[in-house]
Structure 1
Amino acid sequence: MQTSSQKPVVLVTAADLAPQALDMLGGFDVVFAGKQPTEDDVAALCAQHKPVAIIVRYGKVNARIMDAAANLQVISKHGSGIDVIDQAAAAERGIGVRAAAGANAAAVAEHAWALILACAKRVPQLDVRMREGHWDKPTHKSIELEGRTLGLVGLGAIGRRVASVGIAFGMKVVAHDPYAKDAPQGVQRVSLDALYASADIVSLHCPLTDENRNMFNADVFDRFKRGAILVNTARGGLIDEAALADALASGQLHSAGLDSFAVEPMTSPHPFQSLPNVILSPHIGGVSDAAYVNMGKGAAANVLAVLEDHARNAA
């Protein structure tokens, strides 16, 4: 809650922020928008408090919200995915946009592997069957990862961590990332077509842009190796969800592990909910004890850096 002081305001689109981040923002009044703030909620708070900075944890920041915050100088993402911020609108208004890049990389990479292993070993399905009184040992057969090919779309901080685990498992690791300057030892850079044709597991680690929205569509799934596993801990908009549901139902894909969706929260009912070969989690790949602190500190540091830069330029 804002105090009666005249400190500048930082608005957080959530109900909390790591204590370490709050300590860094001691020179500001920090206002929280609540657990699931709507656009109207955030716009109203901007009009009321005139924040100099917004730290984005949940929801989107569009031109309407920016215009409601007359003093806004920086929008800082609590994480790495700035696609939830209208970057063109921010640029037009001279508002800085920053991401806490890499702050949740370890957490997301670990969750990607949790989904890969759950798909390959069918752990959730076996657990349900056991609780129902079944013993499926005579009929169960999991996918062994050693010697298989792991294909990574994106080779940033998260993709590199996922690659290192794949190598440790004895997998062949291939990757596609036109922006990466190099590849870790043991990782072969290939074209997308070569990745689709060879990978037993395809894991997505690229940002969402206007150019790659729905890039994983029916045509692409037809080019996948039959029986491949798809894991997405990046952005839901990368995938044509109807096409993925069809590929899973037909057996073109063995299974999918999904942590992000085209619309969030995921709409219900949704075709994925009726498919037994999909494992779903509510976009929590980057939500861990350590990542919560790292993302908060990174977001706060970005706020301070931009505001200090503005103050120097104004002096």
Structure 2
Amino acid sequence: MSAAKKEVVIVTGVDLAQAAVELLRDYELVYAGAKPTEDDMVKLAQLHQPVAIIVRYGGVSARVMDAAPILRVISKHGTGIDSIDSQAAQQRGIAVKAAAGANAPAVAEHTWALIMACAKNVVGLDQRMREGHWDKSTHKSLELQGRTLGLVGLGAIGRRVAAVAAALGMPVLAHDPYAKEAPQGVQLVDLDTLFAQSDVVSLHCPLTAENKHMINAQSLARMKDGAILVNTARGGLIDEQALIAALDSGKLRAAGLDSFEKEPFTAPHPLQRVGNAVLSPHIGGVTSDAYIAMGTGAASNVLAVLGA
């Protein structure tokens, strides 16, 4: 007599941390590949009839959900769930979960890597050195001590970024409509105040229909001349054309960007020619430790729903 067929969990990626695979040992894992399209996901859902989907890359639309009538949970391998149609999931009684905080240390560290790179012109100086220049007599970096850091979003990542700012002697402002209190040394303010008073603005909020392009020509105009903007959240928060104009004009000193309106970033892209923009391919949360934490977090969220 053959063993009962295992229920299926689809993973939109090529792998999952071994610790997460072990947690899901009672389920059959089906990997969708690194760049599954909506059509790919519909076909896989029809073929395998999953009870859960773990989302690493790409997203899950209503069409995919309708192809999987026994689907009970969509679990994000990370924190941002904007690639999942949460409203469609709610209408179909499907739980949507995120591995909250799993990648917070990694993203906070990358945020500071970008802030430092912008303030100290690390990339530009490296390039000049390789071209044979010695700019000691002409270059001046920005000292961060005493400068104000403005955090848009005060969740697990934002709080870690704030703690480093405190150690550097930076006053911290934060805007987060969901924050009931702030850590010591962090002042909660409205968004206009944050933009007007911050020397460094760093984004740590989810992307919603309401805050899309919250960084636009108007908000950039309200920022301090020579401010730094860093985004390790979602690309859709920024109007990229308005940002490029602010960088080109010198309104902003620099920008550090780890996410973009359209991903993957495809060349040629207007930001590639902007010398005072530091770019990375949405890898803020990609470390070996975060990979394990996000995988086990996503797996645990699946088990919590399926075991309920």
Q: Which amino acid aligns with 1:193?
A: D
State the shift of 1:151 in Å.
0.5
CA distance in 2, matches of 1:183, 1:22: 37
Q: Which amino acid aligns with 1:62?
A: S
What's the secondary structure of 2:30's corresponding residue?
Answer: strand
Q: Which residue of the partner structure matches residue 95 of structure 2?
A: 96
CA distance in 1, matches of 2:186, 2:178: 15
TM-score in terms of structure 2 length: 0.98
State the shift of 1:5 in Å.
6.0
State the shift of 1:131 in Å.
1.4
Is 1:208 the equivalent of 2:232?
A: no
What's the secondary structure of 2:210's corresponding residue?
Answer: coil
What's the secondary structure of 1:76's corresponding residue?
Answer: strand
Q: Which residue of the partner structure matches residue 23 of structure 2?
A: 24
CA distance in 2, matches of 1:245, 1:267: 17
Q: Which residue of the partner structure matches residue 146 of structure 1?
A: 145
Percentage of identical aligned residues: 67
Q: Which residue of the partner structure matches residue 9 of structure 1?
A: 8
What runs of 5+ residues in structure 1 fail to find an aligned partner? 310-315
What runs of 5+ residues in structure 2 fail to find an aligned partner? none
State the shift of 1:267 in Å.
3.3
Q: Which residue of the partner structure matches residue 128 of structure 1?
A: 127
Q: Which residue of the partner structure matches residue 71 of structure 1?
A: 70
Q: Which amino acid aligns with 2:46?
A: A
Q: Which residue of the partner structure matches residue 299 of structure 1?
A: 298
Post-superposition CA distance 1:53-76 (Å, at most 9, x none): 000000011011111122211100
Q: Which residue of the partner structure matches residue 34 of structure 2?
A: 35
Post-superposition CA distance 1:261-309 (Å, at most 9, x none): 1111123222111100000111110111111000000000000011111
CA distance in 1, matches of 2:192, 2:71: 44
What's the secondary structure of 2:82's corresponding residue?
Answer: helix
Is 1:170 the equivalent of 2:169?
A: yes
CA distance in 2, matches of 1:202, 1:230: 5
CA distance in 1, matches of 2:264, 2:144: 32
What's the secondary structure of 1:84's corresponding residue?
Answer: coil
State the shift of 1:152 in Å.
0.5
Greater displacement, 166-175 / 129-138: 129-138
Post-superposition CA distance 1:72-115 (Å, at most 9, x none): 11100000001110011111111110000000001000000000
TM-score in terms of structure 1 length: 0.95
State the shift of 1:193 in Å.
1.2
CA distance in 2, matches of 1:70, 1:172: 51
Greater displacement, 73-82 / 61-70: 61-70
CA distance in 2, matches of 1:231, 1:131: 26
CA distance in 2, matches of 1:129, 1:306: 54
What's the secondary structure of 2:164's corresponding residue?
Answer: helix
Q: Which amino acid aligns with 1:187?
A: V
What's the secondary structure of 1:279's corresponding residue?
Answer: strand
Greater displacement, 219-228 / 125-134: 125-134
